[in-house]
Amino acid sequence: MGTISELGQYIRQTFGPAPSREKPADDPAAPAAEPTPSRYPLGTKSSDTFTLPDGRKLGYAQYGSPTGKPVLYMHGHPGSRIEAAGFHHLGLELGARIISVDRPGMGWSSPHPTRTILDFPKDLEHLTNYLGLEEYRVLGISGGGPYALACARAMPADKLKCVSIAVGLGPPDIGMKGANLINRVGFGWGYRYVTPTLARWFWSREPQGRTDISDEERVQLMLERGFRGNPSQKDLDFLKDEEYLRVASRSAREAFSQGFEGVALDGKLSALDFGFRVEDIRKDLPVQLWYGKQDTFVPPNHGVQIAARLGGRATLRLEDETHASLYTNCRAKILEELLRV
């Protein structure tokens, strides 16, 4: 397969026709996320916007301890600043001020159609200056991996103390061997050619993209859909945490709140050359890498190859986890290690 039409044919054959929708996903009249009792803060009290020098808005949320060590959180794909609510109580416990930022075109951040991956660290630098941060650390999860690497390459050496990447995508030339079919096709070549229309069609098939229904309905769809293929017990255990599924549901709603274009561009940039080499990341920067041996979303070889390109100066941990279970089971260890630097 090598054309958009072939990708569309593959998706139709795999998933069937898109479900009917009473409202388009980016319709402002679509159902809002209703408040649900949760141990995670799902509201917007911790959220705000910052106006960048070019007039764009940058949406961000702060979780954990207001006086803790600052950690810039790079959300997954698709995701938003709300994703970091899963770290709120850990931040309070461990003394971390977690600052989670919407990437352009998602959540509360203005679109930036001509952006590159290396543009995002520039936005973050403006935000950190506005917040008066003298130093900070970066944590990138899954689709936030490319942006965490970009921060490692471009952010000021006197302020950036450490970068941690958990199940994060590496440069596309690493390949997607070992990934499930959807991720292998999507990040292997599909996102390079995908149009917003095709992205809209694909994501409207997925629970995350069903912004025409309530959060509770989407959580139920996640539970019903589960993990395709032959899920491990660790994935099944992950699905038992319905409160965290509400975090994922709300985060995804924010990701698609402006439509599908921002998510489509985010995926495309992750599938193209990043615009820098991992080898050129400064040699004195500690980099921590966490990957799951059972991960079929982002294969563990991404962590192995990133570590190799850093010349062995990164700390690589290969855990007996899946993509989802590493995030939930290793959150405390990941944050503890990051804060030690």
DSSP structure string for 283-335: TTS-EEEEEETT-SSS-THHHHHHHHHTTT-SEEEEES--HHHHHHHSHHHHH
- pLDDT for res 1: 34
pLDDT surpassing 90 at residue 197: no
Domains, the chain, with CATH or none: 19-340 (3.40.50.1820)
Report helix, strand and coil shares of the chain as percent, to nearest 5.
45, 15, 40
- Cβ atoms of 164 and 306 within 8 Å: the answer is no
- Cβ atoms of 107 and 81 within 8 Å: the answer is yes
- pLDDT for res 194: 74
- pLDDT for res 17: 36
Q: What is the rounded average pLDDT of the residues 324-329? A: 92
Question: How far is the C-alpha of 320 from the C-alpha of 341, rounded, in Å?
Answer: 25
Q: What is the rounded average pLDDT of the residues 223-232? A: 70
219 — pLDDT class (breaks 50, 70, 90) = confident
323 — pLDDT class (breaks 50, 70, 90) = very high
Q: What is the pTM of this model?
A: 0.87
Question: How far is the C-alpha of 292 from the C-alpha of 265, rounded, in Å?
Answer: 26
CA distances in angstroms from 110 to 4, 7, 53, 69, 258, listed in the order given: 28, 29, 13, 27, 9
Output the average pLDDT for the chain: 87
Question: How far is the C-alpha of 182 from the C-alpha of 267, rounded, in Å?
Answer: 13
Q: What is the pLDDT of residues 242-273, one digit of tens each?
A: 888 899 999 999 999 999 899 999 999 999 99
78: preceding bond cis by omega (within 30 degrees): yes
Q: What is the pLDDT of residues 26-65, one digit of tens each?
A: 333 344 444 445 689 999 999 999 999 999 999 999 999 9
23 — pLDDT class (breaks 50, 70, 90) = very low
Amino acid 309 reads R
- Cβ atoms of 311 and 288 within 8 Å: the answer is no
Q: What is the rounded average pLDDT of the residues 194-222? A: 83
Q: What tokens does 216 get?
A: 């509770």
pLDDT surpassing 90 at residue 165: yes
Backbone phi, then psi, for 106, in 5-degree steps? -125, 150
Amino acid 66 reads P
Question: How far is the C-alpha of 77 from the C-alpha of 144, rounded, in Å?
Answer: 7
Question: How far is the C-alpha of 313 from the C-alpha of 307, rounded, in Å?
Answer: 7
161 SS3 class: strand
Of the listed ranges 163-177, 239-253, 286-300, 308-322, the one predicted with least confidence: 239-253
**Angle in degrees, 0-180, between the axes of helices 4-15 and 196-203, rounded to the nearest 10:** 10
Q: What is the pLDDT of residues 264-310, one digit of tens each?
A: 999 999 999 999 999 999 999 999 999 999 999 999 999 999 999 99
